Amino acid sequence: MTKFLLVSILSATSWVTAQAQPITDYAQTITDKELKELLYVYASDFFAGREAGTKGQKLAVDFLRDYYIENGIQPAAGTDNSYFQKMELKIKGTNIATENVAAIIPGTEKPEELIVITSHLDHIGTHDGEINNGADDDGSGTVAMLEIAEAFKNAADQGYGPKRSILFLHVSAEEKGLLGSKYYVENPLYPLENTVANLNIDMIGRTDPKRTDKDPNYIYLIGADRLSQELHNISEATNNKYTQLKLDYTFNAENDPNRFYFRSDHYNFAKNNIPIIFYFNGTHADYHKPSDTVDKIIFPLLEKRTKLIFYTLWELANRKERIKLK
């Protein structure tokens, strides 16, 4: 598909291009400086590795809740105004109490339809006396979501709220087997049939040392065309128009031996026939190690990737017609 045709897809159907107010104004509020400030807190020793069910994870969800309160973003339905979707999980024979964090910006025209954006709030905790802070996994996705939420709230406050609702869902217990997202789709706060798409962010702050093309200006995309060719086309057109990252589909192949399509929270949405995109930078030597630290995050790259997701989410939330399944 040519670049001209991809851009035409946006121009013909997008609310974005019909507005005088450029969405780039709101995208510019997403900055590497703010991402860095947030991540130095979220991936600090204070949260003790954020393992699901631990005190550190409880402190982490309080941090996320407080961020949404401070930015005037309302709690999702079904959380008793707490922002928490509470759950009891049985993990290796032990009952663990944990919670997803859910905030929403209601749609202005089609509030019953929603886009769900996800990242996992947990990590693997402390082992052998060392804290695994998970700056990339998935601190990077968590702070990206916070910045995206703030940008959408700024737009809404200035009269440019999304047509469809946007659910900001930080899921717990991903590291225990995608359990927080599994709980959500089995106990949805909003009907799954009204969920247009899921954009899932899991590790977007670094680069893959195994990638033969050493240009860091890329992001791996997984799953965009599995359930909706239209979603894939929108993703491509949005990137061509705004961010010009290299969209790398190496791990999107159905025979990918890494099976990344099945290994993050989007998969629970895909199993329910909800189109998804998984944003991912690939693994590295610090994956699931204490050395996954904030100083190794490439913040200008994290900013650019976060803006791509913001633009894609804006397009999905505001286009005239709901995207179609293949």
Percent of the chain exceeding pLDDT 70 equals: 94
Average pLDDT over the chain reads: 94
Task: Look at residue 324 and tell me if it is in a domain.
Answer: no
Residue 10: band (very low, low, confident or very high) from pLDDT cuts 50, 70, 90: low
Residue 13: band (very low, low, confident or very high) from pLDDT cuts 50, 70, 90: very low
Task: Look at residue 183 and tell me if it is in a domain.
Answer: yes
- For 181, phi and psi rounded to 5 degrees? -70, -35
Task: Look at residue 81 and tell me if it is in a domain.
Answer: yes
Chain centroid to CA 115: 11
Task: Look at residue 326 and tell me if it is in a domain.
Answer: no
pLDDT score at 21: 57
pLDDT score at 22: 78
Range of the domain at 255: 3-318
Is-above-0.85 flag for pTM?
A: yes
Reduced to 3 states (helix: H, G, I; strand: E, B; else coil), residue 98 is strand
Task: Look at residue 69 and tell me if it is in a domain.
Answer: yes
Domain total in the chain:
1
CA angle 182, 185, 187 (to 5 degrees): 105
Residues 142-197: tens digit of each pLDDT = 999 999 999 999 999 999 999 999 999 999 999 999 999 999 999 999 999 999 99
Task: Look at residue 325 and tell me if it is in a domain.
Answer: no
Residues 246-264: tens digit of each pLDDT = 999 999 999 999 999 999 9
Task: Look at residue 192 and tell me if it is in a domain.
Answer: yes
Closest CA to 40 of 303, 293, 298: 293
Residues 189-225: tens digit of each pLDDT = 999 999 999 999 999 999 999 999 999 999 999 999 9
Task: Look at residue 323 and tell me if it is in a domain.
Answer: no
CATH number, domain with residue 163: 3.40.630.10
CA angle 242, 279, 109 (to 5 degrees): 65
Question: Is 118:169 a contact under the CB 8 Å cutoff?
Answer: yes
pLDDT exceeds 70 at position 19: no
pLDDT exceeds 50 at position 290: yes
